[in-house]
């Protein structure tokens, strides 16, 4: 499984282009991000809530790679950070172009969340 590229508003994974934020599961399955879990609390999908962190996390995960948007505007709430820490899951938060490079190179049991706009 390889993340090929990203442009503003898109991400291409194994040759398929998605025009929305995505989550890459431990299995490699690509699903649409449930940003409403964060948006209902913060009014924005640029803050990752604890509820969304719970949706994102899977047992056996060592690392969560988060693409914070093309310009890096997304961040984690303190509660989401604490949730990942309590579950022993390291978080790597980088602008999406850099995050996909890190995700592709990582050998950890990882999950990815990639925000494709700002």
> Is-above-0.85 flag for pTM?
yes
CA distance 90 to 87: 9
The pLDDT tens digits of the residues spanning 32-83 come to 999 999 999 999 999 999 999 999 999 999 999 999 999 999 999 999 999 9
- Among 86, 82, 83, 90, CA closest to 111: 90
In the DSSP assignment, the letter for residue 28 is: S
The pLDDT tens digits of the residues spanning 5-28 come to 999 999 999 999 999 999 999 999
| Residue 92: C-alpha distances to residues 45, 47, 68, 99 (Å) | 18, 15, 10, 8
CATH of domain 3-115: 3.40.1230.10
Domain ranges of the chain: 3-115
CA distance 25 to 67: 14
98-111: average pLDDT: 97
Cβ atoms < 10 Å from Cβ of 60:
9
């Amino acid at each position: 499984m390889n993340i090929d590229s990203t442009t503003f508003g898109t991400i291409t994974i194994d040759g398929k282009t998605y025009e929305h934020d995505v989550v890459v599961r431990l299995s490699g399955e690509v699903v649409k991000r449930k940003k409403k879990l964060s948006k209902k609390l913060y009014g924005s999908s640029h803050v990752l809530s604890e509820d969304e962190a719970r949706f994102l996390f899977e047992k056996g995960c060592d690392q969560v790679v988060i693409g914070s948007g093309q310009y890096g505007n997304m961040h984690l709430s303190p509660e989401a950070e604490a949730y990942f820490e309590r579950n022993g899951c390291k978080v790597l938060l980088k602008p999406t172009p850099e995050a996909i490079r890190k995700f592709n190179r990582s050998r950890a049991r990882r999950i990815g969340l990639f925000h494709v706009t700002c």
